[in-house]
Structure 1
Amino acid sequence: MSGLVDALVIVAVIALVIVRQFRASRIDTGRRWWLLPGVLAVLALREPDLLDAHHPVTAALVLGAEVTVGLATGAAWAWTTRVWVEPDGAVRSRSTGASVAVWAVGIGLRLGLYALGTVLGVHQDSSAVMLALAATLLVRSGVLIRRTRSLHPAPVPAAAYGAAVPRSAWKERV
């Protein structure tokens, strides 16, 4: 694909993610929340160009910093997400304005690390970004699941006396 098409696809995906994060969504604690980050991490670690062969130590330090930023971003993103229990017991979440600030700082730090790597002469592949994204999603999901499990469902109001007793239908007499 051309650079313009790539840029449009990236902008569309980011817009979709932002829109989905600001709508209330149900958190399902029974699903495999670690699966997508795990798949991303495996795909990133299988790439042969994860570390620059000409600068292995510097590349490992930049990669370690990238993953650390991803972990911190995921934790901050999860803690700035609003989590609540609906009256029916369903747990929902929605990102807040502070989440936007977390994203902006995380992206700024990643751009800074990319610039630092470029200045140091380290070749950086997209697999490093994918590994950091996997770390971000794994920590965010883990913290949200932990926060969800600590919540208690809202108490259900007790039924009035005789509410469960069936009533006879009213009959019209002629």
Structure 2
Amino acid sequence: MTALSDVLIAVAVIVLVVGRQLRARRLDTERRFWLIPLVLAAVALRDPVLIDPDHRAASVLLVAGSLLTTAGMGCVWGWTVRIWREADGSLWSRGTTATAFAWVGALLVRAAWFGVGAALHVHQSGSVLLLSLGLLLLVRSVAVQWRARQLDGGHALAA
């Protein structure tokens, strides 16, 4: 895939996910929250130049650092979501203003990693963006599911 197609896929997923997260929605604990992240990771990992062959060590460090900070941002995002129980017993969630700031922060952190790579003259594949986005969505979903279980008194909810 080209870098442009990677960016377009990422933008489409971000618009879809952010739009959904900022509206109150019933929390479906039986949903396969890992499916979109898995697809994004599969697409990203098919890229033969995910790691710059001319700067292998720096490239691996950049990708690893990016993924580590992305996981942290996913945790932050998951904790900014408001979760509550309605009178009928159903769980609901809605992103807050902090959720929007968490998205902006995640994008800024990703841009900073890209800037570091550019300063080091390391080629950075657009697939890293897809891989990061998949990880961000996965960690956020795990955090929200965990919080929902805590709200439910620790009873296991279907993942």
TM-score by length of 1: 0.77
Cα distance between partner residues in 2 of 1:66 and 1:57: 14
Cα distance between partner residues in 2 of 1:35 and 1:15: 17
Given the alignment of the two structures, is residue 74 of structure 1 paired with residue 71 of structure 2, yes or no? no
Q: Deviations over 1:67-97 (max 9, x none)?
A: 1121011100000110011111111111111
- Kindly state the Cα deviation for residue 109 of structure 1 after the two structures are TM-superposed: 1.2
Which residue does 2:118 correspond to in 1? 118
Cα distance between partner residues in 2 of 1:13 and 1:45: 17
Given the alignment of the two structures, is residue 28 of structure 1 paired with residue 10 of structure 2, yes or no? no
Which residue does 1:152 correspond to in 2? 152
- Alignment check: 8 A CA contact 1:117 1:124 kept: yes
Which residue does 1:129 correspond to in 2? 129
> What aligned pairs does 1:1-174 form with structure 2 within 5 A after superposition?
10=11, 14-152=14-152
- Kindly state the Cα deviation for residue 17 of structure 1 after the two structures are TM-superposed: 3.9
TM-score by length of 2: 0.83
- Alignment check: 8 A CA contact 1:85 1:91 kept: yes
Q: Which has the larger radius of gyration?
A: 1
Aligned sequence identity (%)? 40
The amino acid across from 2:25 in the alignment is: S
Q: Deviations over 1:116-154 (max 9, x none)?
A: 10110111111101111111011000111111112239x
The amino acid across from 1:73 in the alignment is: M
- Kindly state the Cα deviation for residue 18 of structure 1 after the two structures are TM-superposed: 3.4
- Alignment check: 8 A CA contact 1:73 1:102 kept: yes
Cα distance between partner residues in 2 of 1:15 and 1:41: 18
- Alignment check: 8 A CA contact 1:69 1:132 kept: no
Answer 1 or 2: higher relative contact order, Cα 8 Å, separation at least 6. 2
Cα distance between partner residues in 2 of 1:56 and 1:129: 18
The amino acid across from 1:121 in the alignment is: H
Which 5+ residue runs of structure 1 have no aligned equivalent?
A: 154-174
